[in-house]
Amino acid sequence: MPKQTMRFEDGSTLTWTSKESVKYTESGYVADVWVDMDAGFFSRKKIVKVESLRSWTQAPPGIESLEIPESKRMDILEKIRRYYAGRPMEFE
């Protein structure tokens, strides 16, 4: 299993919260990302459910829109790739 929490150069973090999810935090924003495991006893492949990145779970006070912009989704997915470095990944 990767480290429990990984901090990135921009101050954001990814934290493993369960065998099926990681929590992304950045400047008061929080997104819970569903990460499934591929079927098969010896498979190490992670399947990231991109749909779980449509909206923030939590946002700073005063922010009305919870929609995650496409550019931020791509940034988060790249950080997830770094978090699970060395493991095969699929995004669906």
**Model pTM score:** 0.85
C-beta of residue 53 within 8 angstroms of C-beta of residue 26 = no
Please tell me the predicted confidence (pLDDT) of residue 71. Answer: 95
Specify the 3-state DSSP secondary structure of 5: strand
Does 20 have pLDDT greater than 60?
Answer: yes
pLDDT tens for each residue of 28-78:
999 999 987 766 555 677 888 899 999 999 999 999 899 999 999 999 999
The domain locations on the chain are: 5-91
pLDDT tens for each residue of 3-12:
589 999 999 9
Specify the 3-state DSSP secondary structure of 7: strand
Does 24 have pLDDT greater than 80?
Answer: yes
